Amino acid sequence: MAIRNLRYQGDDILKKKSKEVPEEEISSEKIQTLIDDMIETMHKYNGVGLAAVQVGVLKRVVVIDLYDDKGPIVLINPVIVKTKGEQEVEEGCLSFPNEFAKIIRPAEVVAEYTDRDGKRMQVKAKELLAQAISHEVDHLNGEVFIDKIIPGTLEYVEPEEN
């Protein structure tokens, strides 16, 4: 496992649409290593979610960790099939360090995806998980949170000195 280099605001790759991972590639060493590296990278930077495009790989792979007892979840080729309600949330992004803003996200989402073992799955998500899935699927579609913020809510938070 390795920490991958994050791609930051201004990098053209963040505006590109990611490609589906063919079923036969999901179990490949290349994709499994990517998943492990993404989880390690997300944890190093204390992120809740990370899309492959954020480490420079245009594949529809997402990792999310709510830091609960369930551990990280891996979503390959995720598709949001249903949304319900709205929630106003404060959001940040590992590709936009120290920047936070308010956004309107669905309160609930239903997403279909393939897990890292190649099984088709469905998740009904609320609150933070719904927010994270929406945020990461946006990344896969070449959209970044900064394009969706409620005007006037963007804040830059000075990083703390260690």
Catalytic residue IDs: 136
Which is it for the CA torsion 161, 96, 20, 73, positive or negative? Answer: positive
- Using alpha carbons, list the distances in angstroms from residue 147 to 22, 73, 112, 129: 30, 26, 25, 20
- Cα angle 41, 56, 100 (rounded to 5 degrees) comes to 65
Q: Which residue has the tokens 């994709």?
A: 31
Please state the length of the chain.
162
Report the run of H or E that residue 59 belongs to, with start and end. none
